[in-house]
Amino acid sequence: MLETITNLNSKINGFVWGPVMLALLVGTGVYQTFRTGFIQVRWFGYIMKNTVGSLFAKKDSNKDHGSNLSPFQAVTTALAGTVGTGNVAGVTGAIFVGGPGAVFWMWVSAFFGMCTKYAEIALAMKYRVTDENGSYRGGPMYYIENGLGKSWKWLAVLFAILGGLASFGIGNIAQSSEIAGAMNGLLGLDPMITGVLLAVLVAIVVLGGVQRIGQVTSYMVPFMAIFYIIAGVAVILMRITDVPAVLATIVTSAFSFEAVGGGLFGYAIMVAMKQGFARGVFSNEAGLGSAPIAHASSSTEEPAEQAMWGVFEVFIDTIIICTITAMAVLLSGMELGADALAAYGSKGAAAVAAFNTILPGTLGGTVIQISLLFFALSTILSWSLYGERCWGYLTGNNKVVAMVYKLLFIAFCIVGATGSGTLMWDIADTLNGMMAIPNLIALLGLSGVVTKITKDYFADKK
């Protein structure tokens, strides 16, 4: 029975993360880019100034956002779920299997993904609803039903079910397992102890509701991002003379017919493209529909204003953080290929080896383990919100269901920390990819709405 489930999941996973779906994910970004007039290029300076630049502007820090999140808390909650183990282990694996050229295609997916995520958030803001407590609720399930129409509610229900189930796997078990491994490596802590401590910590935050999640992520996400960026920049500076050659290799390898690790000649471009697209999408989640759920809770009223954070989100996640990982791996001079990756035992171990090759002693391994610890913890917190919102949509925001979900979610922290969870991780990975299908249908069907939102907002901007 278990073997049958494993084989079935493997086939479905091969489709949802295969060439057809990846082409649809990136293709949707291309389509939205043209329809919105290349906003990620034309308005990039304006977007950066009014997102990350606005954080340095003098504002009233005591502004009341009611039962919702501030714009910054909304983006850090979304980034908490976006910046995760895929930024380290996923990128490392992509390079080992697809070669340096995978990095180039990862950049391409991010370029168009900026517009995809912009569109998702704009729609989430436009079609969100207000519950009895005055809190905003939104995301793909709402813009499918309210945007495409009631006849499409079955598609909204499908998305909510997939998202609700994925929250236990990709958003919890897989992350708890990473945390247990990091704590064991750093402190030699038993996985059961880690699981219990993690469950208590998650309970304190999750039971406090969406505002507490936003408050915690607003401190955690900037810290973990800056920590990893500083460590990564240090690695790059130590091999700065090799950077031009590595960048040249990334570009030339993206179009090279020379396979990595002695693979099939002529197949290299497709492998590099698939690995780059897959890791890019998996990392920044553009098109999967998860991040808009967090952004919809923002107190911002203007859809395009909050949607601009989506461009920044993909930029910092993939163009900055994933590139740092990629540069560390390539500057280390490690032998690439699937066989070389297998020799390390895991993608995370390969990333540790890359950092250790450049940084003195075992400092690189410590950096990776601390980063994975925070990346995974932040992902758990944001996915608790995603799951709650999905199950809330399905049950009419029933408070009893919400509490039962939270308690189950907390308990799954122990399950993830103490079990191997390999099959559950694989199933969750499949569910995560399947979320994209109903979301992409909505993005394509409502592209005209996104275009109008964009034209109306930027009409008088300079």
Flag whether pLDDT at 441 surpasses 60: yes
From residue 284, give the alpha-carbon distance in Å to each of 24, 211, 423.
16, 23, 23
- Identity (one letter) of the amino acid at 396? G
Region of poorest pLDDT, from 19-28, 144-153, 220-229, 427-436: 427-436
pLDDT above 70 coverage of the chain, percent: 93
pLDDT for 266: 46
In DSSP terms, 129 is beta-bridged to 137
Task: Please give the average per-residue pLDDT across 149-161, as a whole number.
Answer: 95
Could you count the other beta carbons within 10 Å of the beta carbon of residue 418? 18
**Residue 123 Cα to chain centre, angstroms:** 19
| DSSP assignment letter at 264 | -
């890791």: which residue's tokens?
279
Task: Please give the average per-residue pLDDT across 164-185, as a whole number.
Answer: 85
pLDDT for 259: 53
Task: Please give the average per-residue pLDDT across 246-259, as a whole number.
Answer: 83
Flag whether pLDDT at 422 surpasses 70: no
299: Cβ contacts below 8 Å, ≥ 6 apart: 65, 66, 68, 69, 70, 71, 136
**What's the rounded Cα separation, in Å, for the pair 84 and 317?**
9
414 with 192: CB under 8 angstroms? yes
pLDDT for 134: 82
Mean per-residue pLDDT of the chain = 86
Task: Please give the average per-residue pLDDT across 122-138, as a whole number.
Answer: 91
Structural tokens at position 394: 């399905």
- Provide Rg for the chain, Cα atoms: 21
Flag whether pLDDT at 62 surpasses 60: no
- Identity (one letter) of the amino acid at 319? I
Q: Is 307 helix (H, G, I), strand (E, B) or coil?
A: helix
Task: Please give the average per-residue pLDDT across 57-76, as a whole number.
Answer: 67
Q: Is 127 helix (H, G, I), strand (E, B) or coil?
A: coil
Q: Which of 188, 203, 180 is nearest to 421 (CA)?
A: 180
119 with 308: CB under 8 angstroms? no
Please report the domains of the chain, with CATH numbers, ordered by start residue.
9-51+66-454 (1.20.1740)
Flag whether pLDDT at 42 surpasses 80: yes
Termini Cα distance of the chain: 61
**What's the rounded Cα separation, in Å, for the pair 287 and 277?**
12
**Residue 224 Cα to chain centre, angstroms:** 15
pLDDT for 65: 58
Q: What are the DSSP E strand ranges found in 195-294?
A: none
pLDDT for 460: 80
pLDDT above 90 coverage of the chain, percent: 45
Flag whether pLDDT at 454 surpasses 90: yes
Q: Which pLDDT tens digit goes with each residue over 337-367?
A: 778 888 877 777 888 888 888 888 778 888 8
313 with 461: CB under 8 angstroms? no
30: Cβ contacts below 8 Å, ≥ 6 apart: 112
Q: Which pLDDT tens digit goes with each residue over 205-245?
A: 999 888 888 889 888 988 998 999 999 999 999 999 999 99
pLDDT for 131: 85
pLDDT class of 81 with cuts at 50, 70, 90: confident
From residue 336, give the alpha-carbon distance in Å to each of 82, 260, 261.
26, 7, 6
**Residue 109 Cα to chain centre, angstroms:** 13
From residue 195, give the alpha-carbon distance in Å to each of 199, 369, 416, 417.
6, 17, 8, 5
Q: Which of 47, 68, 213 is nearest to 115 (CA)?
A: 47
pLDDT class of 56 with cuts at 50, 70, 90: low
Task: Please give the average per-residue pLDDT across 142-159, as a whole number.
Answer: 95
Task: Please give the average per-residue pLDDT across 433-456, as a whole number.
Answer: 93
Q: Which pLDDT tens digit goes with each residue over 84-96?
A: 777 888 888 889 8
pLDDT for 366: 86
In DSSP terms, 136 is beta-bridged to 130
User: Beta strand 129-130 with 136-137: parallel, antiparallel or unpaired?
Assistant: antiparallel
Q: Which pLDDT tens digit goes with each residue over 279-321?
A: 788 788 888 999 999 999 988 899 999 999 999 999 999 999 9
Structural tokens at position 456: 């109306």
